[in-house]
Each structure stands twice: as C-alpha cells, then as structure tokens.
Amino acid sequence: MKPVNGGATITAMATTPSTHADRGALLQVPRDLLASRELLLDLVRKDLRVRYRYAALGFLWALLEPLAYMIVLTFIFERVLTPTDGVPMFGEGIPFASGLLCGLVFWQFSTQSIGAATASLVENQHLVKKVAFTREVIPLAAMGYPTFSLLIGLVVLLVVHRVLGGQVGSSALWMAPLFLIQLGITAGLGLLTSALNVRYRDVGYMVTVALLLGFYASPVFYDLDWVLAATSSGDVPRAVSWLYLTNPMAALLEAYRQALLEGRRPDTWLFVWPSVVSLLALTGGTVVFRRQAATVSDYL
C-alpha cells in the first residue's frame, strides 16, 4: 500500500494502469474504476475531512449553505422583486422557497462537481506525477463533496417543503432516473474539462463563466413555464427559446419540480433531450480523457 496526502492509500494491484491500446476502449473504463474503487473512496473521505477540519461547525455548513441561499433569494424575489401581475414564480400551490430550493440543490450539485473536477488534476499533480493509477479516479472523486452536499440539501428541501404545507408522494421516486441523467452529464463534462484544463489553463476560467451564465439560463429561481409563456406571447423570439431549451438543465430542473413538488410523473419530453446529452457527454468526456491520460504528467 502506498500512502498519499490525507491518508488515502493506493493498492498496487487495484491501480495498475491500462495499456496504451486499452486507453481508448470505453469498456475498459468501468473495469479500471471498479479496480480502483478503494482509492476513489479514500480520496472522497480525505476531501470531506480536509474541507471541514478547521471549521467550528464542521458538516453543519453543508446544511447552512443551501438554507442561506434560499433565505436570501426568497427575500429578494418575493419581497423586493415581487411580480406585479400576481403570477407565481412557480406553479400554483408550490411555495416559492420550495421551488427555489429544489432548483438550487440540483443546480449546485452540477456546478460544484464540474468546477471541482476541472481543477482536480492540477490540484493533485503531486499524486498524478508520482503514482500509476486510473486517472479518472481524481475528477470523479472531486464529485464526492458535491454529492454529500446534495444529500444534505435534499433533506433540507423535504423538511422545508413539508413545513410550508407541501406534500411529497410516490412520484418523488422519479428523481432517481432524473439524477442518473444529470450525473451522466456532470461526470462527462467533468472528465472533459479536467483533461483539457491540464493543457489549456484558460479552460478553468471558461468553465467559471459558463456556469455563471448557466445559472441565469436555467430555471433555478423561476419556472420553465415563464419562458414558454413568454415565447407564446411573442415577448421572446422562438429561436431564443429553442436555444434556451438546448440547456439540458432547463428540462431537468422542471422535471425535478414536477416529480417532487407537483406530485406527478414528469413530462416525457423533459427526459428525452437531457438523456441524449447525458450519453453524449459521458461518452465524449471519457474518450477525450482517456486519450489525454497518457500525457497528463507532461503538462503538470
């Protein structure tokens, strides 16, 4: 066993890298990750320990962060920027705080994961350059903390929704396949940007800007119906709305709200395009990462 920073260990047998001929084979990736599962879990545990080591409130920050966002944005959009026409920001009967928190929790998972994965190889270059192991482990391990935050955020969301009078039914089970779709998109983009960021450090800045734009171009603090209604009335050109809907998170966030807050099966069309993007992102990200993995150390 070889120790690495933070107490993570690498088992020599479990981290034997693929041959060069195998690097482009997609079927080899799951086998490599399975063999490196101990390292993956060790890196996730290390990240969680380091993140809260010197914080007095420790893991409570994972609970307080989504609550703080919800309180601030609820005040702004319900008290300061109250719609003058009386149209609710979300569907009828959905508390604003619940609709907002539902968007925030799932949106932050993707943004935190992609941001952390993008910088992961550079930040762990001491490990990449010294030890031979399946390189995909590092950007995927960077998604560990955002996943933990998502679980905490879901608990907060359910509690807030119930306190505000909302109901949660069996339709909430649809969140599982929706999350698998989102996970594929997020992991694929994380693998892609982490590999490119090693060679082109501008990628990190581009990702930050893109995620900021994506926040406003996704129905995080408003309902997708607002965009569709604006298109129907002619206030928004149809071409712009089609461009808006190319963002798979627009459909996924709406689907999450339908499943959890509206208590119904999400509309089928909300699954289709995100599923296609998920498959393309995961396949493309894995292929690019595998092709770059052999020369990653040369650029660090």
Say what the pLDDT of residue 48 is.
Answer: 79
Range with lowest mean pLDDT among 134-138, 224-228, 287-291? 224-228
165 φ/ψ sector (left φ>0, alpha ψ -120 to 50, else beta): left
Nearest-angstrom CA–CA distance, 229 and 234: 9
C-alpha distance from residue 282 to each of 26, 190, 193, 247 (Å): 10, 9, 12, 16
Q: What is the amino acid identity at position 17? A: P
Helices and strands (H, E) in the chain, number of each type: 13, 2
Burial (CB count <10 Å: 0-12, 13-18, 19+), residue 282: buried
Residue 24's pLDDT band, with cuts at 50, 70 and 90, is: very low
Q: What is the mean pLDDT of residues 235-247?
A: 86
Per DSSP, the three-state class of 192 is helix
Comparing 142 with 87, the larger pLDDT belongs to 142
Residues forming a β-bridge with 2: 10
Per DSSP, the three-state class of 151 is helix
- Does residue 65 surpass a pLDDT of 70? yes
* pLDDT (tens digit per residue) in 29-61: 888 888 888 888 888 888 877 776 766 666 676
Structure token pair of residue 220: 């995080």
Residues in the chain: 300
Q: Give Cα 8 to chain centroid, integer Å.
A: 24
φ, ψ at 237 (rounded to 5°): -60, 145
> How many other C-beta atoms lie within 10 A of the C-beta of residue 82?
10
DSSP state of 10: E
Nearest-angstrom CA–CA distance, 68 and 170: 29
Query: Which residues, at least 6 apart from 142, have a Cβ–Cβ distance to it below 8 Å?
Result: 47, 113, 116, 117, 119, 120, 190, 194
Q: What is the amino acid identity at position 20? A: H
- Does residue 84 surpass a pLDDT of 50? no
Burial (CB count <10 Å: 0-12, 13-18, 19+), residue 271: middle
Q: What is the mean pLDDT of residues 237-255?
A: 91
- Does residue 81 surpass a pLDDT of 60? no
